[in-house]
Structure 1
Amino acid sequence: MSLHQQPASSKRSGLSRRTVLAAAAAAVPVGALTTTNATAAPVATKPSRTTPLAVGRLFDKVEAGMAKYAIPGVGLGVWYRGREYVRGFGVTNVDNPAPVTADTVFRIGSTSKTFTATVMMQLVDRGLVDLDRPVRTYLPDFATADPTVGPRVTVRQLLNHSAGWRGDTFVDTGDGDDGLARYVALLSSAPQITPLGKVFSYNNAAIGVAGRVIEAVTGKPYETATRQLLIDPLGLAHSRFFRSELGGFSVAASHNIVDGKPVVEPSFDPMPRSLHAIGGLISSAQDQLRYARFQLGHPGLPRLLRERTRVAMQSNPGPGGTLFVELDGVGIGWMIRPTAEGVKVIQHGGDWPGQHSGFLMVPKRDFALTVLTNSESGPELTAELFADDWALAELAGVHNLPAVQRPLTPKQLAPYEGKYVATQVGVDGVESSLELDLTGDQGQLLASVQGQQALRLGFYRRDYVLMLALDGTPTHTRANFIPGSDGKPAFLRLGGRLFRHQTAAARSATGRQLKSLAELTSPVR
């Protein structure tokens, strides 16, 4: 998820290489490592000389990233060459330090969407849902702002992010069992941004509708249905939706970054129940790796999906584009990512204030990686491991599509210049916007937010750009422009969101201005 209204204290502050973990965190030993084969129960061991060199280098990179970005704790799970490597790093809480372990729980954010998609596919297997039937088959009263979309949008289009309406609505509709139904009813006012089924635009709200379909078909609250159909049968003993269910668990506290240091921030913890299907699951590295092995089709795990259904989730993507990396598109809940070798990467990840994670699989290499962090600076590490191709190259032998920057002439840059605006509706129901002002500069585009220079965009092929720091340092992230019917840029797709190219006549003020890209692209991705 993303575009959540964060408190002012959550704005990310700059980090320097001098940043170190708090002394209390440094004093706690690294958590246990477990290695298992595909069928044996995990056996706790310490890191040893038998740990593969590539996995050891991954451990080193995680520890270096924690020190560099002031991340107190990390949960890591790797499936590599037929064995599990699950390890906790650092501490759960800098004020009350306890070691992170394989079972420490973090909020996984939008990887929760793949749980919603998996439960939906269980209902497909049972003949209770047809992906290509209209949503109104299951939610007769479902309405959209564009009256032509409501009757036609299908369940598949919800799950492959091609529904086309504004996807970032985070309204809190209460803690009751009717919270998700009330949330979905509010979406009738969400403006239609692109034609139904034609454009990939990351859509939190559409996944909320999918969660409501699950409720309508099963007759149970989303959380109950997901526990009964997927979480409990799969044996995910440390995966829950409600914080009230975490008694006795090792829980990773959320941390903000203040003056380069991690500070516990309890205000980050609450999440509206309306968003549970979108990004609400709390889970551990051990559980996430077990879930990855289930999605890879490993023997010895409960068969909760037909094999062809499992494969279908990772196939036949909808419209493509970028979401931090280039995408072929989204299958059923899973981002499908191309590589230079032609091998597909199946990926997700998630963000909520103070809790940021990444999750990917390479089925043809029988490889999986999950990383959970407890700091607002977590995206710096997950970008290194999940947008950059270091981990993929080191552990799976695949690489990102090549992207060699080429400077454009002022004439070539001119059509891309101007203001681009994206909007959200926050927890409090207030609409807000983020405006990027793009100007040509030294063969690249310079992006400013509220008059402050924020980043650079360097072109590597037509309409596709690398996001760069102001000094030109790559951020591991890609974005792309979408042409309109006249061939000119109509949108900038950044973090999966669509920023509409504004003309002077079309600009209008919204409820409030977001002050940073972090506010747009951080919470539940």
Structure 2
Amino acid sequence: MGAASALGCAGVTLGAAAPAAAAPGSAVKGGGTGAAGYAPDPLFDALDAKIEQGMKAYAIPGAAVGVLWNGQEYVKGYGVTNVDHPVPVDGDTVFRVGSTTKTFTGTTVMRLVERGEVELDAPVRRYLPDFTVADPYASAQVTVRQLLGHSAGWLGDDYQDFGPGNDALARFVTSMARLPQLNPPGLVFAYNNAALCVAGRIIEVVTGKTYEAAVRELVIDPLGLDHTRFSSDQIVGFGVAAPHDVVDGKAVLDPSFWSQPRSLAPTGGLISSARDQLAWARFHLGDGTAPDGTRLLSRASLQRMRSDPGPGGTLVVELDGMGVTWMLRPTAQGPRIVQHGGTWPGQMSGFLMVPSRGFALTLLTNSEGGTQLRDELFTDDWALRRFAGVTNLPATAQVLTGQAPAPYEGRYTAQRINDEGAVEDVVVDLTRHDGQLRGTRTFHGPSSPSDTAPEEEEDAAAAQTSGLGAAFYRPDFTLDLDDDGRPVGTRSDFVRGPDGKVLWWRNHGRLYRHRTE
């Protein structure tokens, strides 16, 4: 079902506005009780300027931000929901938040853990007796914690659409029987959307409710997140930020970007606002109680979610590892960053907290260009240095000499499964270039073979190729390079096998196998 059809059935018009608690473009500041006419603060003024500059530079029609800092709250909207039917964005405008949804899945599981209905270190088969992936050992041994910490080990980019029915998630999990195992459970971090869908299915089985109903009952409604929902028919009357592509440097409305399979709800289906996302941060930085005083989680469970990281690596930034659905990110000064964010076509968002500094930041955007602004605010040190006094681990691009880059050269391959269930291949070729690595990434459609020489490929139209580059800043860790060979701040790394040889390239959290034959 196309996005336009889905929205039409729901009666939602992208960009339609509803009355909000704060006027469009207004800010709320000062312990959550703020009002219009607040005294400007140079840091918030600088943040406004940074966002507005990025919106102009990267063709972002609309954005919303939420900040918790020094006991103050700041919520503000910028620009418009829709370039064709412009309505101002405010703090209650809803966007797709993408993978920040995973933290709602994890928090719901933790509520079940506290009830004694789920154990994090129990095998998945305790709750889903028929659970199966291609590897028998992984099927039997993988644990709930490994699902939530992205170390389940099987192919994670599975985007199959099983329709709008209440059985969509169950059917998705059954279909995972063909997913190949890349590493044993618990050994290697690799971003795994499919694993979070399994966690969502556990929620369904344990509660006897659909995933969406369970999350709403256990988390969303008790926290009063009135602008946080899973389906388009539940946001009728809200201001909705429409998704936009960027074409020739300009934002172009593309309603088809909005639609998302229900089977992927636990990994990225949430729709929310900056105000609600800031309330989410307050809850996770708080004592586990809802605004009305009801206890949802203990402090210990909140701390448990952001402690004891599994295997580390990179996911755009360098990670200590994953907690319970939270990315746990080191800093040069010591305090840990707790982070997530999401990517869906035309809807780029960021979310981070520095618990020891009482700082949280969320950004929602309605354009493919939002990636660049998110990277500037969340990946680099712009916001962290100013508001929390912390920075990334140092990384200075180096030029390797002699044969030092040789072990990293070669072809790397990965796979993903599209919404129709077809397997697509992704091929990366890396070669030495002036002491760094340069190469290409090619996405092959289902009918385009990836293991043949380029001149033998039969379906060139199905392949899409882009350039890439990497510069080492310490052994096995690299900074990504732009088209001009300059570091852009995002990080990748190489993973070695038991024999000490380079086995994988991990880029954006995905593993590409090094083909040496």
Structure 2 length as normaliser, TM-score?
A: 0.89
Contact 1:468–1:474 at 8 Å: present in 2 too? yes
Asked if the contact 1:239/1:287 (under 8 Å) is kept, the reply is yes
Give the conservation status (yes or no) of the 8 Å contact 2:414–2:427: yes
> AA paired with 1:256?
D
Distance in 1 between the 2:31 and 2:483 partners? Answer: 46
In structure 1, the residue matched to 2:413 is 421
What code does the residue aligned with 2:27 have? L
- Asked if 1:37 corresponds to 2:40, the answer is no
Confirm whether residue 471 of structure 1 aligns to residue 484 of structure 2.
Answer: yes
2:140 is paired with a residue whose SS is: coil
Residue-by-residue CA offset, 1:47-71 (whole Å, 9 max, x unaligned): x5x2321222111111100000000
| Match of residue 69 from structure 2 | 80
Match of 2:498 in 1: 485
Q: Are the equivalent residues in 2 in contact too, given 1:55–1:395 (CA < 8 A)?
A: no
Preserved CA contact (<8 Å) 2:395 2:473: yes
Q: Check if 1:94 corresponds to 2:107.
A: no
1:16-415 alignment, distance < 5 Å: 31-37=25-31, 40=33, 43-46=34-37, 48=38, 50-297=39-286, 301=291, 302-415=294-407
Q: Tell me, in whole angstroms, the C-alpha distance in 2 between the residues paired with 1:434 and 1:136.
A: 31
- Equivalent pairs: percent with the same residue? 54
Looking at structure 2, the residues matched to 33 and 447 of structure 1 have their Cα atoms a distance apart, in angstroms, of: 45
Instruction: State whether residues 24 and 91 of structure 2, in contact with CA within 8 Å, keep that contact through their aligned partners in structure 1.
Output: no
Instruction: Say if 1:142 and 1:453 are closer, same or farther in 2 by CA, change over 3 A.
Output: closer
Instruction: Give the 3-state SS of the residue equivalent to 2:63 in structure 1.
Output: strand
CA contact (8 A) 1:31 1:101 kept: yes
C-alpha deviation, 1:453, in angstroms: 6.1
What is the CA deviation profile of residues 278-299 of structure 1, one whole-angstrom value per residue up to 9, with x for unaligned ones?
Answer: 0000000000000000000167
Amino acid corresponding to residue 480 of structure 1 in structure 2: D
Aligned to 1:455: 468
CA contact 1:30–1:90 (8 Å) conserved in 2: no
Which amino acid counterpart does residue 26 of structure 2 have in structure 1?
A
Distance 1:128 1:379 in 2: 39
Alpha-carbon shift at residue 44 of structure 1 (Å): 4.1
**1:232-271 per-position Cα deviation (integer Å, ceiling 9, x unaligned):** 0000000000001111100000001111111110111110
CA deviation after TM superposition for structure 1 residue 300, in Å? 7.0
Provide the secondary structure at the position in 1 that maps to 2:263: helix
SS of 2:514's equivalent in the other structure is: strand
TM superposition shift of 1:30: 6.5
Deviates more, 1:294-303 or 1:145-154: 294-303
Please tell me the residue identity of whatever aligns with 1:112.
T
Structure 1 Cα separation of the partners of residues 40 and 111 of structure 2: 37
Deviations 1:140-183 (A, max 9, x none): 11111101111111100000000000000000011111100000
- Tell me, what secondary structure is at the counterpart of 2:29? strand
Shift of 1:45: 1.5
CA distance, structure 2, for counterparts of residue 462 and residue 486 of structure 1: 17
Match in the other structure for 2:513 = 500
After TM superposition, give the deviation of residue 32 of structure 1 in Å: 1.0
The structural deviation recorded for 1:127 is 0.6
Residue matched to 2:458: none
Contact 2:290 2:296 in 1 (8 A): no
Q: Which runs of 5+ in 2 are unaligned?
A: 4-22, 443-453, 455-464
Distance in 1 (CA, whole Å) between partners of 2:127 and 2:362 is: 34
One of 437, 461, 468 as aligned partner of 1:445: 437
Which structure's relative contact order is higher, taking Cα pairs within 8 Å and 6+ residues apart? 1
CA distance in 2, matches of 1:249, 1:449: 39
- For 1:412, what is the secondary structure of its paired residue? coil
- Change over 3 Å in CA distance of 1:222–1:300 after alignment to 2: closer
**Mean Cα deviation higher: 317-326 or 450-459:** 450-459
Gaps of 5+ in 1: 1-5, 7-28, 505-525
- Answer whether contact 2:471 2:487 (CA < 8 A) is retained: no
- 1:474 is displaced (CA, Å) by 2.2
- Contact persistence 1:388–1:400 (CA under 8 A): yes
TM-score (norm 1): 0.88
- The residue type equivalent to 1:475 in the other structure is V
Task: State the Cα distance separating 1:36 from its structure 2 match.
Answer: 3.6
Contact 2:441-2:468 within 8 A present in 1 as well? no
- C-alpha separation between the residues in 1 aligned to 2:35 and 2:410? 56
- The answer to whether the Cα contact below 8 Å between 1:446 and 1:453 also exists between their aligned partners in 2 is no
Amino acid at match of 2:224: G
Q: Is the 8 A contact 1:110 1:351 kept in 2?
A: yes
Corresponding letter in the other structure for 2:204: E
Displacement after TM superposition at 1:116 (Å) = 0.1
**What is the alpha-carbon root mean square deviation over aligned residues?**
1.6
Structure 1 partner of 2:460 = none
